[in-house]
Amino acid sequence: MKVLIAGATGLIGNHLLHFLLENSAITEVVALLRKKTDLKNEKLNQVVFDFDKEENYKNLGDFDAVFCCLGTTIKKAGSKENFLKVDFQYPLSLAKHISTKQFHIVSSMGADETGFFFYAKTKGKIEEKLKGLKIETLHIYRPSQLEGNRKEFRLGEQISEQIMRLFSVAIPEDYKLIQAKTVAKAMLNNTFKTEKGTFTHFSGEIKTIANKTKD
C-alpha cells in the first residue's frame, strides 16, 4: 500500500508515521512536511510542502490511504485565520485534490458545526465538508484529551489531565484520557478493514480497535 500522511511531526502523527514504516503491508509512505526531519527509512519519502498553494496538492499522485493529523491551537497559530488554515482549509484541500480510497482525519471530541466554541465548530465544519465529498471510505477520529509528550507545554491540559486521572473510575470511556499512540494504532488498523462508508470513532471504540486488531 502507498500512503500519504500530513502532520507527521505532531503528537498522533509521529506515532502513526512509525507504525506505517514498521508495517510490512505499507510499501511507501509520503510525508508532507514544512521541513525534512532526520528520520531515515527506505519506505519514507519526505516532501517539503507548501500547504497554502492549491496546485501543489494536485501533483502528489494517487494513494491507497491518506492520513490527516494536522492540528493546532489558536494560541500557537496566532489568529483564528491561521487556525482555520491548518484545521479546515488544509485538510479540505488534501481530500479534494488527492485521489485516494481512504481518508483518515483526527478531529476532536465535541466537534459540532453548530456549536458555540470556535475550536469545536471548526472541527465540526471540516467533518461535514469531508462527508459531502463522498469519499469511498472516510474515518473520523474524535479522541478525548490526549496523553503523550508534546513539544510545547500546555498548562491547562496538564491540570485537566491530573484531574481526569484522579476521577478516572467515574468518567465514561469516551471521555477518559487516551494515549496519542492508541489513536495512531487504531488509524493504522482501520487501514486494513474492507468496509466502505463514513465512520466516526470515539475514544472507547478507538481503544477497542487499537487493542483487538492485530498488526
Hey, what's the cell of 3?
500512503
Hey, what's the cell of 138?
472516510
Q: Per the residue annotation, which of 85, 96, 101, 119 is the catalytic one? A: 119
Is a pLDDT exceeding 50 seen at residue 153?
A: no
Is a pLDDT exceeding 80 seen at residue 163?
A: no
Tens digits of residue pLDDT in 28-68: 999 999 999 999 999 999 999 999 999 999 889 999 999 99
Which comes out higher in pLDDT, residue 101 or 148? 101
Confidence of residue 215 (pLDDT cuts 50, 70, 90): very low
Is a pLDDT exceeding 90 seen at residue 129?
A: yes
Q: How far apart are CA 15 and CA 178, in angstroms?
A: 14
Rounded CA Rg of the chain: 17
**Is 123 part of the annotated catalytic residue set?**
yes
Q: Model's pTM, two decimal places?
A: 0.88
Q: Per the residue annotation, which of 123, 125, 176, 207 is the catalytic one? A: 123
Candidate CATH numbers 3.40.50.11440, 3.40.50.720, 3.40.50.10540, 2.130.10.10; the one for domain 2-212:
3.40.50.720
Domain boundaries, the chain: 2-212
**Is 119 part of the annotated catalytic residue set?**
yes
User: What is the predicted pLDDT for the residue at 66?
Assistant: 98
